[in-house]
């Protein structure tokens, strides 16, 4: 079992729909990252959070430390949101600072 698991692996939505991508982790963390990878391959950091909730435009990220679970929500989705979304756990303990990545969720938003 991977230390960081994302679901779903593939997600298709119609423009305007509310989207949720989930991330569960089994390791101790100091923070969790959500990243966006566009078809060209470059990666952009969306959020880094260690508790609670963060919001940027139509994107919302939440984390529940006790349940070891994080979610990324996209409100009023748009075709330009189509990308691969990756969660990454920033390790704590003896591996402090190291990132462990989920396998990514491929999101396609149709007009």
Partner 1 sequence: DGGITQSPKYLFRKEGQNVTLSCEQNLNHDAMYWYRQDPGQGLRLIYYSQIVNDFQKGDIAEGYSVSREKKESFPLTVTSAQKNPTAFYLCASSIEVYNEQFFGPGTRLTVL
> From the CB of 86, what's the least distance to partner 1, in Å?
7
For position 26 contacting partner 1 by CB under 8 A, the verdict is: no
Residues 30-69 that bind partner 1 (CB under 8 A): 30, 33, 35, 40-45, 48
Going by C-alpha positions, the residue among 19, 55, 43 that lies closest to residue 102 is: 43
Whether the Cβ atoms of residue 27 and residue 1 lie closer than 8 Å to each other: no
Nearer to partner 1, 60 or 106 (CB): 106
Closest CB to partner 1 among residues 97, 111: 97
Interaction between residue 82 and partner 1 (CB under 8 A): no
**Cα(49)–Cα(11) distance, integer angstroms:** 23
Question: What is the rounded distance in angstroms from the CA atom of residue 32 to the CA atom of residue 35?
Answer: 10
């Amino acid at each position: 079992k991977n230390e960081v698991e994302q679901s779903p692996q593939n997600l298709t939505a119609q423009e305007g729909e509310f989207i949720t991508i989930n991330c569960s982790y089994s390791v101790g963390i100091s923070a969790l990252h959500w990243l966006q990878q566009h078809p060209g391959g470059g990666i952009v950091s969306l959020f880094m959070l260690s508790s609670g909730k963060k919001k940027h435009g139509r994107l919302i990220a939440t984390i529940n430390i006790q349940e070891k679970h994080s979610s990324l929500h996209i409100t009023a989705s748009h075709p330009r949101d189509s990308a691969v979304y990756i969660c990454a756990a920033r390790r704590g303990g003896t591996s402090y600072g190291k990132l462990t990545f989920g396998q990514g969720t491929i999101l396609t938003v149709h007009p």
